[in-house]
A and B are shown apart, each in its own frame.
Chain A
Amino acid sequence: MKDTDIKKLFYAHLFCVFSIILTTFIPSLFLEDFSILETHLTWLCICSICVTVVNVVLYLLVKPNPSSKRSSISHKISRLLKSCVYFSISCLLYHAIIVLYGAPLIELMLETFLFAVILSTFTTLPCLCLLGPNIKAWLRVFTKNGATSIWDNSLQITTVSSVIGAWLGAFPIPLDWERPWQVWPISCTLGATFGYVAGLLISPVWIYRNRKQLTYKSR
Chain B
Amino acid sequence: MLKALVLLFLAWVCFLFYAGIAVFTSGFLLTRLELTNHSICQELPGKGPLVGGGRGEPGACWTAPRFSRAVVVLIDALRFDFVQPWPDGLPAPQPFLGRLGSIQRLLEAQPQHARLYRFLADPPTTTMQRLKALTTGSLPTFIDAGSNFASYAIQEDNLIAQLNNTGKRVVFMGDDTWKDLFPGAFSEAFFFPSFNVKDLHTVDNGILEHLYPTMDRDDWDLLIAHFLGVDHCGHKHGPHHPEMAKKLNQMDQMLQTLVERLENDTLLVVAGDHGMTETGDHGGDSKPEVTAALFLYSPLPLFPRAPLKDPEVVPQVNLVPTLALLLGLPIPFGNIGEVMVDLFSREGDAQPLATALAQASAYHLNAQQVSRFLRAYSLAAQDLPPEELQHLQNLFSSASSEYERLLDQLKTEEVREADIQGLISQLRLFLRGARTACTETWARFRPARMIGGTILLASTCLLCLVTSGLTSSPDFPFHCLLLRSVAWGLAGSALLAGGLMAGGSGLEPALLCAGGAATSLMAFLWNLKSRGRPPMAIILPGPLPILVLLFLRSAALFSDSFVLAEARAAPFLLRSMSLFLVAQLHWEGRLLGGWPTAPCLSSPTASMARREGPQALGLLVGLLLCVRLSSFFHRCPEETPVCQSSPWLTPLAAMGGGQAKNLWYGACLGALGVLVLSVRFWLRRCGNLNSPAPPVLFVRWGLPLMALGTAAHWALASGSDEAPPRLQALVSGAVVGLPRAVLGLAALGLGLLLWQPVTVLVKTGASSSNPIVVPFVGPPASQADLDYVVPQIYRRMQEALRGKLAGGGGQTPMSLAAYGLGSVYSAAMVTTLALLAFPLLLLHTERISLAFLILFLQSFLLLQLLATAVGNPAGSSGPFSVPWLAISAWALTATQTFYSTGHQPVFPAIHWNAAFVGFPEGHGSSPLLPAVLVGANTFASHLLFSVGCPLLLLWPFVCEGQGSTKKKPLASGAEVEGEKEEEPLMEMRLRDAPHHFNAALLQLGLKYLFILGIQVLACVLAASILRRHLMVWKVFAPKFIFEAVGFVVSSLALLLGVALVMWVDRAVGSWFKQLILSQER
Cβ-defined contact, A143 with B561, below 8 A? no
Binds B, one of A46-54, A115-123, A171-179: A171-179
Q: Are A174 and B561 in contact (CB under 8 A)?
A: yes
Q: Give per-residue flags for B549-570: 1 if the beta carbon is below 8 A from chain A beta carbons, else 0.
A: 0000000000111101100110
Name the B residues within 8 Å of A176 (CB-CB).
Answer: 560-561
Docked complex Cα distance between A20 and B586 (Å): 31
In Å, the complex CA distance between A187 and B600 comes to: 40
- Of the residues B198, B598, B625, contact of A143 by C-beta under 8 Å: B598
Residue pair B589, A100 in contact (C-beta under 8 Å): no
Q: Which A residues touch B559, using CB under 8 A?
A: 175
A8 interfacial by beta-carbon distance below 8 Å: no
CB of B206 to closest CB in A, whole Å: 21
B837 interfacial contact with A, CB 8 Å = no
Determine which of B575, B592, B600, B631 lies in contact with A139 in the assembled complex, contact meaning CB atoms within 8 Å: B592
Which of chain B's residues 286-314 have a Cβ closer than 8 Å to chain A? none
A58 within 8 A of B: no
Does A170 belong to the interface (CB within 8 Å)?
A: yes
Q: Which of B564, B597, B628 contacts A174 (CB 8 A)?
A: B564
- Interchain CB contact under 8 A, A136 and B595: yes
Looking at the complex, which one of B575, B595, B600 makes contact with A100 (CB distance below 8 Å)? B575
> Is B198 in contact with A174, judged by CB distance below 8 angstroms?
no
User: Is the Cβ of A167 less than 8 Å from the Cβ of B576?
Assistant: yes
CA distance A171 to B587 in the complex (A): 26
- Contact present for B561 and A99 (CB under 8 Å): no
Contacts A139-B592, A175-B561; is A100 near B598 (CB within 8 Å)? Answer: no
B 530-585 contacts with A by CB, 8 A:
559-562, 564-565, 568-569, 571-572, 575-576
Instruction: Check if A102 sits within 8 Å of B628, measured CB to CB.
Output: yes
Residues of B within 8 Å of A, CB-based: how many? 28
B599 at interface by CB-CB < 8 Å = yes
Q: Mark A145-159, 1 if CB is under 8 A from B, else 0.
A: 110000000000000
- For B590, the closest partner residue in chain A by CB is A143
- Cβ of B930 to closest chain A Cβ, rounded Å: 34
A23 to B228, CA, bound (A): 45
A140 interface contact, C-beta 8 A:
yes
Task: List chain B residues, Cβ under 8 A from A140.
Answer: 595, 597-598
Q: Give complex CA distance A219, B597 in Å.
A: 7
Q: Does A34 reach chain B (CB closer than 8 Å)?
A: no
The answer to whether B586 and A174 have CB atoms under 8 Å apart is no
Q: Contact check, A145 vs B600: say whether CB atoms are below 8 A apart.
A: yes
Whose C-beta in chain A lies nearest to the C-beta of B559? Answer: A175
Complexed CA–CA distance, A176 and B565 (Å): 10
- Bound complex: CA of A174 vs CA of B242, how far in Å? 30
Q: Does B588 contact A (CB under 8 A)?
A: yes
Q: Which residues of B sit under 8 angstroms from A102, Cβ to Cβ?
A: 568, 571-572, 575, 628, 631
Is A142 in the interface zone, CB < 8 Å from B? yes
Name the contact of B624 in the complex, choosing from A100, A136, A167 (C-beta under 8 A).
A100
Give the residue among B575, B576, B587 with the most A Cβ atoms within 10 A.
B587
Q: Which of A136, A170, A176, A217 has the most CB of B within 10 A?
A: A176
A101 close to chain B: CB less than 8 A: yes
Q: In the bound complex, do residue A146 and residue B598 qualify as a contact, i.e. CB atoms below 8 Å apart?
A: yes
B-contact bits for A79-111, CB 8 A (1 contact / 0 none): 000000000000000000101111000000000
How far in angstroms is the closest Cβ of chain A from B719? Answer: 32
Query: A175 to chain B: which residues have CB within 8 Å?
Result: 559, 561-562
**Closest beta carbon of chain A to B898's beta carbon, Å:** 17
Contact across chains for A142 and B587 when beta carbons are under 8 A apart: yes
Measured CB to CB, the nearest residue on chain A to B628 is: A100
Within 8 A of A (CB), among B595-637: 595, 597-600, 624-625, 627-628, 631
- Do the beta carbons of B587 and A143 come within 8 Å of each other? yes
A101 to B592, CA, bound (A): 24
Q: How far is the CA of A175 from the CA of B599 in the complex (A)?
A: 47
Binary per-residue interface labels of chain B (777-819) against chain A in the complex, 1 for a CB within 8 Å, 0 otherwise: 0000000000000000000000000000000000000000000
**Interface membership of A144, Cβ < 8 A:** yes
Q: What is the minimal beta-carbon distance from B894 to any residue of chain A, in angstroms?
A: 19
Chain B nearest CB from A161 CB (Å) reads 14
Closest CB in chain A relative to B573 CB, distance in Å? 10
State in angstroms the CA–CA spacing of A176 and B197 once bound together. 10
Contact between chains at A100 and B572 (CB < 8 Å): no
Contacts of A101 in B (CB 8 A): 572, 575, 624, 628
Residues of A with C-beta under 8 A to B562: 174-175
Residue of B nearest to A178 (CB): B198
Measured CA separation A23–B597 after assembly (Å): 40
The answer to whether B575 touches A143 (Cβ under 8 A) is no
Closest to A167 in B: B576
Query: B residues within 8 A CB of A178?
Result: 198
Task: Using A100-B575, A102-B631 as known contacts, say yes or no to A145 and B599 having CB atoms under 8 A apart.
Answer: yes
> Given A102-B571, A145-B598, is A139 in contact with B561 using a C-beta cutoff of 8 Å?
no
Chain B residue contacts of A217, Cβ below 8 A: 599
Q: A100-B624, A100-B625 are in contact. Are A144 and B587 (CB under 8 A)?
A: yes
- The CA of A101 and the CA of B576, in the complex, are separated in Å by 8
Whole-angstrom distance between the Cβ of B12 and the nearest chain A Cβ? 38
Q: How far is the CB of A144 from chain B (nearest CB, A)?
A: 6
Nearest Cβ in chain B — how far from A217, in angstroms?
6
Docked complex Cα distance between A143 and B561 (Å): 38
Give chain A nearest CB distance to B811 CB in angstroms: 36
Tell me the smallest distance from the CB of A115 to a CB of chain B, in Å. Answer: 16
| Interface mask (B60-87 → A, CB under 8 Å = 1, otherwise 0) | 0000000000000000000000000000
Give the Cβ gap from A58 to chain B, nearest Cβ, in Å. Answer: 26
Q: Which residues of A contact B592 (CB under 8 A)?
A: 139
Binary contact readout A177-219 vs B (1 if CB under 8 angstroms, 0 otherwise): 0100000000000000000000000000000000000000101
Which chain A residues lie closer than 8 Å to B560 at the CB level? 176
Complex Cα gap A102–B340 (Å): 58
Decide if B599 touches A139 in the complex (CB within 8 Å). Answer: no
A168 to chain B minimum Cβ distance, whole angstroms, is: 11
- B624 / chain A contacts, CB cutoff of 8 Å: 97, 100-101
In the complex, A178→B575 CA distance in Å? 26
A145 to B601, CA, bound (A): 10
Residues from chain A with Cβ under 8 Å of B597 in the complex: 140, 219
What A residues does B628 contact at CB under 8 A?
A: 99-102
Which B residues touch A146, using CB under 8 A?
589, 598
Q: Which residues of A contact B595 (CB under 8 A)?
A: 136, 139-140
Minimal beta-carbon separation of A4 from chain B (angstroms):
26
- Given the complex of chains A and B, what is the CA–CA distance between A174 and B564 in angstroms? 8
Taking each of A143, A167, A170, which has the highest tally of chain B beta carbons within 10 Å of its own beta carbon?
Answer: A143
B589 touches A143 (CB 8 A): yes
| B851 CB, nearest partner CB in chain A, Å | 16
Q: How far is the CB of A148 from chain B (nearest CB, A)?
A: 8
Asked if A144 and B589 sit within 8 Å, CB to CB, the answer is: yes
Given A102-B631, A146-B598: A174 and B568 interface contact (C-beta under 8 Å): yes
The distance in angstroms between the C-alpha atoms of A99 and B559, with both chains bound, is: 26
A110-142 near B? 1/0 per residue, CB < 8 Å: 000000000000000000000000001001101
Nearest CB of B to A103, in Å: 10
Which A residues are CB-close (under 8 A) to B568?
A: 102, 174
Q: Which residues of B contact A174 (CB under 8 A)?
A: 561-562, 564-565, 568-569
Find the A residue at minimum CB distance from B575.
A101
The listed residue (A136, A139, A143, A170) touching B588 by CB distance below 8 A is A143
Chain A residues closer than 8 Å to B569, beta-carbon distance? 174
**B residues 964-991 with Cβ under 8 Å of A?**
none
User: With A102-B631, A145-B599, A175-B559 given, is the CB distance from A170 to B587 under 8 Å?
Assistant: no
State in angstroms the CA–CA spacing of A217 and B598 once bound together.
10
How far, in whole Å, are A195 and B460 apart by their CA atoms in the complex? Answer: 39
Beyond A101-B628, A102-B631, list 10 extra A-B contacts (CB 8 Å). Answer: A100-B625, A101-B572, A102-B568, A143-B589, A144-B588, A145-B600, A167-B576, A174-B564, A176-B561, A217-B599
Pairs A-B, 5 closest by C-beta atoms: A174-B565, A100-B624, A175-B561, A143-B589, A176-B561
Q: Can you show 10 pairs from A to B with CB atoms below 8 A apart? A: A100-B627, A102-B572, A139-B592, A140-B598, A144-B588, A144-B589, A145-B589, A145-B598, A167-B576, A174-B569
